[in-house]
């Protein structure tokens, strides 16, 4: 037998407490905490990896989509090299009360454009969680005309699954060109392969610099112009301004330079915009006529599906938007969508659309029709389409 130890006990009889013991298993709570910590590390790694691209494109991510407000903020005035504070441009006071009225009318119209609808494209947060794709410069632009039906056309087009458009008017090629194409691209919604990026800013059509600027971005840009009877358009333009500034002069007094001679004041923007042939000449110096589509504002009301068919063909899209998407709202007097983009509810344009026009003396309307007739005929010849305004 083994050697005896003092006290007469064998080495095999040593108590268990003196022998090496196996490690005590961790309690269940520790195991759960360790597992939770490991899962948290994995989730954090995946989040940072995914965010690497999205955060660069959406700097306002942590501000719950506030980046778009920053993008639309007006640029700060530059300081002169010598450190003197910036000076606002001087504007001489109008020479007459009538000229003041014209400035007031055009200023009110400008204010309404600036207070346009907020963009309803996805916010940075929703784009991060649900959106993929990339931001592209627009392949198609609705360039005009104001009060012609551009908002209706854009809302109708957005029903198409292959069209992604900015909700608000970017005004890049007329007001914010100095901010650069990167700033402009960042305003665009994300698109997938096969989708078209679009925007609409009606004032582009009458901006002298816009054709060259858009051509410099891409000579392949498709251009859409929504035109309307220039007399009706001018009255609608005035009605919009009147809703903002009820104290402006009458339509008749703003229309004429000299009422007794019947001389039309073409310096008033409400009149000038309707001289479509003159504005089109500037565009044809940079784009072929085949790259432009002219949509009838009247037919957009009487036959929206027919006009949308032409637009879809022009953009190379499958004809998805048809009669089944529209119903006629008798109260507003124009068609509405049975289902808007991303909604199952009917959708009509807002209360700013379809305003009741003021009564205009018939002789004033007739004089305007005589004024526009030669310009209309030239426009028909240039576009190859008779819009039937005479």
Do 206 and 144 form a contact (C-beta atoms < 8 A)?
A: yes
What is the residue-wise DSSP string for 167-188? SS---TTTT-GGG-HHHHHHHS
Binding site feature residues: 147-151, 228, 236, 353-357
Q: Is residue 82 part of a domain?
A: no
Binding site feature residues for 3'-phosphoadenylyl sulfate: 147-151, 228, 236, 353-357
- In angstroms, the CA 141 to CA 144 distance is 9
pLDDT on residue 356: 82
pLDDT on residue 127: 40
Q: Is residue 221 part of a domain?
A: yes
Four-CA torsion 332, 336, 339, 340, nearest 10 degrees = -90
- Look up the domain containing 200 and give its range: 134-383
pLDDT on residue 110: 55
Q: Is residue 355 part of a domain?
A: yes
Q: Is residue 345 part of a domain?
A: yes
pLDDT on residue 285: 98
What is the CATH classification number for the domain harbouring 191? 3.40.50.300
Q: Is residue 126 part of a domain?
A: no
Catalytically annotated residue among 147, 219, 244, 339: 147
Q: Is residue 8 part of a domain?
A: no
Task: Find how far residue 51's CA is from the centre of its chain.
Answer: 25
pLDDT on residue 329: 80
pLDDT on residue 344: 60
Q: Is residue 115 part of a domain?
A: no
* pLDDT per residue of the chain (390 residues) written in tens, 0 to 9: 444 444 444 444 445 444 455 555 556 667 777 777 777 776 676 665 544 444 333 333 323 333 333 333 334 434 444 444 444 344 445 556 566 666 656 655 554 454 444 444 443 333 443 458 999 999 999 999 999 999 999 999 999 999 999 989 999 999 999 999 999 999 999 999 999 999 999 999 999 999 999 999 999 999 999 999 999 999 999 999 998 999 999 999 999 998 888 899 999 999 999 999 999 999 999 999 999 999 999 999 999 999 999 999 999 999 999 989 998 887 767 789 987 655 666 668 755 555 687 899 999 999 999 999 999 999 999 999 999 998
Q: Is 147 a catalytic residue?
A: yes
Number of domains composing the chain: 1
What is the residue-wise DSSP string for 71-139? HHSPPPPPPPTTSPPP-PPP-PPPSSHHHHHHHHHHHHHHHHHHT-PPP-SPPHHHHHHH--SEE---S
SS3 314: helix
Q: Is residue 171 part of a domain?
A: yes
SS3 351: coil
């Amino acid at each position: 037998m083994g050697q005896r130890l003092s006290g007469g006990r064998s080495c095999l009889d040593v108590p268990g407490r003196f022998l090496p013991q196996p490690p005590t298993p961790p309690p269940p709570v520790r195991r759960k905490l360790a597992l939770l910590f490991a899962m948290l590390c994995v989730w954090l790694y995946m989040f940072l990896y995914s965010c690497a691209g999205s955060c660069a494109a959406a700097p306002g991510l942590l501000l719950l989509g506030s980046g778009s407000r920053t993008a639309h903020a007006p640029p700060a005035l530059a300081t002169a090299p010598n450190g003197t504070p910036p000076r606002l441009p001087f504007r001489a006071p109008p020479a007459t009360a009538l000229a003041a009225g014209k400035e007031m009318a055009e200023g009110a119209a400008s204010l309404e454009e600036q207070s346009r609808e907020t963009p309803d494209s996805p916010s940075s947060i929703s784009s991060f969680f649900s959106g993929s794709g990339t931001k592209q410069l627009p392949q198609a632009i609705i360039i005009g005309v104001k009060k012609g039906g551009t908002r209706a056309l854009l809302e109708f087009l957005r029903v198409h699954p292959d069209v992604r458009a900015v909700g608000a008017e970017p005004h890049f090629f007329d007001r914010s060109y100095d901010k650069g194409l990167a700033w402009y691209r960042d305003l665009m919604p994300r698109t997938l392969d096969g989708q078209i990026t679009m925007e609409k800013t009606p004032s582009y059509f009458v901006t002298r610099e816009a054709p060259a600027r858009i051509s410099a971005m891409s000579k392949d840009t498709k251009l859409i112009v929504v035109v309307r009877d220039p007399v009706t358009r001018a009255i609608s333009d005035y009605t919009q301004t009147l809703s903002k500034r009820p104290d402006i002069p009458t339509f008749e007094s703003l229309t004429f330079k000299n009422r007794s001679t019947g001389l039309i004041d073409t310096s008033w923007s409400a009149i000038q915009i309707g001289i479509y042939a003159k504005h089109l000449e500037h565009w044809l110096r940079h784009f072929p006529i085949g790259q432009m589509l002219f949509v009838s504002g009247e037919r957009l009301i009487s036959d929206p599906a027919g006009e949308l068919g032409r637009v879809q063909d022009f953009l190379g899209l499958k004809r998805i938007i048809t009669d089944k998407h529209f119903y006629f709202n008798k109260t507003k007097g124009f068609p509405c969508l049975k289902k808007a983009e991303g909604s199952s509810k009917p959708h009509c344009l807002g209360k700013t659309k379809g305003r009741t026009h003021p009564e205009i003396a018939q002789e004033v309307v007739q004089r305007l029709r005589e004024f526009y007739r030669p310009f209309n005929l030239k426009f028909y010849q240039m576009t190859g389409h008779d819009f039937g305004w005479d």
